[in-house]
Amino acid sequence: MRVPLSWLAEYVDPGLSVDELADVMTAGGLVVEAIQYPTGAVRGVRVAEVRNIAPIEGSDMLSLVDVFDGEAEHRVVCGAGNFSVDDRVALAVPGAELPGGMRIDERRIMGHMSRGMLASGRELAISDDHRGILVLDDDAPLGADLRSWLQLDDPVYDIEVTPDRGYLLSILGVARDIAALTGAELRVPEIVPADAGCRVPVTIEDTDRCRRFEVRTIDGVAVGPSPAWLQRRLTAAGMRPVSNVVDATNAVMLEIGNPIHAYDEALLAGPELIVRTARPGERLRTLDGVDRELDAEDLLICDAKGPVALAGVMGGEHSEINDETTTIALEVANFSPRTVLRTVRRHQLVTQGSMRWERMVPPESVPLAASRCAELICQIAGGTTTGGSDHYPNPPEHRPITLRPARAAAYLGIDVGPGQQGRLLERIGCEVTHDGQHLAVTRPPYRPDLTDEVDLYEEIARIHGYERVPETLPSTGQVGGRLPEHGAQIRVREALAGAGWYEILTEPFITADDLVVLGWDDDDRRRQPIALVNPLSQEAGVLRTSLLPNLVRVARHNANRQVPAAAMFEVARAYLPPTDDDPGAAGGPEDVLLPAEPLLLGLVGYGPFDAARHDRPARMIDIFDLIGACQLLARRLGRPALVPSATDQTPFHPGRAAQLSFEGRVIGVVGELHPRIVGTLELPARTVAGELRLAPLLSGGVVHPQVTEPSPLPGLRFDVAVVTDEAIEASAVEHAVRAGAGPDVTAVTLFDVYRGDALGEGKRSLAYHIALDNAERQLSDRDEAAAIDRIERIVAEQVGGRLRR
């Protein structure tokens, strides 16, 4: 809500500086987001009278205008034609400044010297009218500085209004709160009641949705531009001036908060206005020129022929106020928020009026708005009020709310007694009676937001002052902490970051096609993504079932930006249709089925994992960096090593992918992506990726490692080299070597892989450093010989290998 200070000051003047008032408002919940001076830059513009207008030869548009500012005549060249001799206009003399930094100088135009300029409403930021110059009221004093005459240095407060406080969408409502917060006097205009009779009868068919309807007729108006002061105010408050009658309805809406509609009475068919819902097939062309098909739920104002307004939202084009209008019917009504909100949503039509209805305008504001609007129209557009009637079939009864002062004080933790609480509530207009231990509080009509006892607590605290509420820090009486799984997850992420992997963050939106590309079968659970009803874009239509689509997208994005290498990970959820083994969260009283949200670790990389240096060549990232990263996190969690095994599943290279098992269950797959998929997805060659489910590893949190105490005795260190068929996996060979090395083995480290003619076709040699340690007994050469013999035997038995001696 934009509140010009000059307008506010007509209702309340607490005698504070501009900044002090902003402070009071913010502290009271009318949070001032900005203080603006939309016309503050105007300098050197004065009121002048037109003395003579002479055409300039050779120009259709321009004329030479002589104006008098009370002291001297000035001759200026002007391109507008909307004024005549004796009009008062805004003269910007040489040296003047206008909003937007425009400076006025003497200028030669078509051979004539122009000593200044006649300014338009737009040039002064008073309106957005640039069709002609601004013509001022006749009572504008000659020579007066426009700055003071039109209050151009008026500050405008931009206030954030929360949805519960609809009453703050009016100057009067803001003034009421300022009066309550500061104790300053509130000046509310007198209500001039509607005359008993009115030539426009009103029938309200739906009294739930239209709770009140006042109509006033005004005859003899002359439609034209509003006076400059009103245009300036409306513009400052964020509304576009249209014409005096329309501006009056808008100004009163801004002032009192009750939207008003003015009809050209002559264009209404028949005397009666009817408030009803739409009938099948009815249409209405609204003020914005859109021909609308009406819904049976739309509430309408109708005349004898049919709809003339979409109640509370927008009037019809046919009965719109126009330049020829002389008799008007004012509609000052009250509609239910729900009705207006639904119509707004159906027709995608948000207006200044609808915004106010949605936030509850009380029916009690109707008479004041009607009285004020009729008065303003007569003041600025001529005319006289010729009748009015107020239809208010079921005025609601406001039940008092019971306030327990002791509970209020304990709830708020501040020391305010029952009497003080009552007085604070009276300041916002409540009626308070003491009822034994309790207070009976009746809200003022303009505060429909006050319905519960706790609402009164807030008002007590607010008027007392939130900033005066002391701070106390309660003891939680418990030790804080994270769930074990959460702590473990942090450890995983820190371990990977510490080992050279970069954590990324992606939105969980993908397309179903992203999953098709990865080649999974149609019946794979990952191919059944959950669709969004209102995705932000077509590329974000479903929730991810796997981290891979986003991982490869991020890799491609980096490669396209000439980033030479990437090693990235993400710990995030996927969203899968729930199963018995993998259920979703509880669905509430309606038992809504929610997806499973497993936590996954995703990895992706390309390019060198170790960049080339002056002392070391580059080393490309490969599957062993991925498996190693997974092993690292298993180790950091105190879990046994994951067991890798070859897999040929999509989307991976059939010979360069591994599934990783934990406690006998496969928890993920990592590897080089299939060259075909690398090509399709336009990824860097040999991009590696993978993902695994974290829940089995994180479950129960970090397991504390248990030590193996080092032996105090010297151990044995020797090497063996095992020759096997190429097809035998290294893990099987190592397993056999370990078994052969016996119970004293403390390390088996592969240090060389060799292939050569000497070994024979299809053979390879794996060479290991072996360490044997025994804390109780000095190991001897005999132990070493025995171990080597055992290794030789078991290697032969288990993997068909032999030792190279």
* Smallest distance, another protein to C-beta of residue 174, A: 14
User: Can you list the positions of beta strands (E) in 101-209?
Assistant: 102-103, 107-109, 112-114, 117-118, 135-136, 156-160, 202-204
Nearest to 639 by CA among 690, 700, 582: 700
Q: Which amino acid is at 96?
A: A
Of 116 and 549, nearer to another protein (C-beta) is: 549
* Smallest distance, another protein to C-beta of residue 477, A: 7
* Smallest distance, another protein to C-beta of residue 433, A: 23
Q: Could you give the CA distance from residue 653 to residue 689 in angstroms, rounded to a whole number?
A: 11
Given the structure tokens 């208010």, which residue do they identify? Answer: 392
Of 99 and 577, nearer to another protein (C-beta) is: 577
For residue 283, what are the β-bridge partners? Answer: 293
* Smallest distance, another protein to C-beta of residue 629, A: 10
Of 382 and 608, nearer to another protein (C-beta) is: 608
Of 574 and 720, nearer to another protein (C-beta) is: 574
Q: Measured in Å, how far apart are the chain's first and last C-alpha atoms?
A: 91
Of 263 and 575, nearer to another protein (C-beta) is: 575
Q: Could you give the CA distance from residue 255 to residue 373 in angstroms, rounded to a whole number?
A: 10
DSSP 468: G
| Cα distances (angstroms) measured from residue 45 to each of 15, 123, 124, 228 | 29, 11, 9, 14
| 291-293 and 608-610 strand pairing | unpaired
Of 500 and 710, nearer to another protein (C-beta) is: 500
| Cα distances (angstroms) measured from residue 791 to each of 431, 590, 741, 778 | 97, 65, 6, 21
* Smallest distance, another protein to C-beta of residue 222, A: 41
Contacts of residue 490, defined as CB under 8 A and 6 or more positions apart, other chains included, come to 482
* Smallest distance, another protein to C-beta of residue 158, A: 13
For residue 300, what are the β-bridge partners? Answer: 276, 310
* Smallest distance, another protein to C-beta of residue 300, A: 20
Q: Which amino acid is at 37?
A: Y
Q: Could you give the CA distance from residue 114 to residue 103 in angstroms, rounded to a whole number?
A: 14
* Smallest distance, another protein to C-beta of residue 476, A: 3
Of 412 and 779, nearer to another protein (C-beta) is: 412
- 479 class by beta-carbon count within 10 Å (0-12 exposed, 13-18 middle, 19+ buried): exposed
Sheet order of strands, 2-4 included: 2-4, 156-160, 31-36
Q: Could you give the CA distance from residue 803 to residue 767 in angstroms, rounded to a whole number?
A: 9
Of 155 and 595, nearer to another protein (C-beta) is: 595
* Smallest distance, another protein to C-beta of residue 447, A: 13
* Smallest distance, another protein to C-beta of residue 32, A: 9
* Smallest distance, another protein to C-beta of residue 689, A: 14
Q: Could you give the CA distance from residue 492 to residue 338 in angstroms, rounded to a whole number?
A: 50
What ranges in 266-365 are assigned the alpha helix state H? 337-347, 352-358
| Angle (nearest 5°) at CA 384 between 382 and 386 | 155
For residue 786, what are the β-bridge partners? Answer: none
Given the structure tokens 């909307």, which residue do they identify? Answer: 82
Within its chain, how far is the Cα of 725 from the centroid?
63
Of 454 and 775, nearer to another protein (C-beta) is: 454
Of 341 and 643, nearer to another protein (C-beta) is: 341
Of 462 and 635, nearer to another protein (C-beta) is: 462
Of 476 and 538, nearer to another protein (C-beta) is: 476
Q: Which amino acid is at 347?
A: H
* Smallest distance, another protein to C-beta of residue 628, A: 12
* Smallest distance, another protein to C-beta of residue 375, A: 34
How many other CB atoms are there within 10 angstroms of residue 437's CB atom?
9
Of 140 and 360, nearer to another protein (C-beta) is: 360
| 8 Å CB contact between 168 and 177 | yes
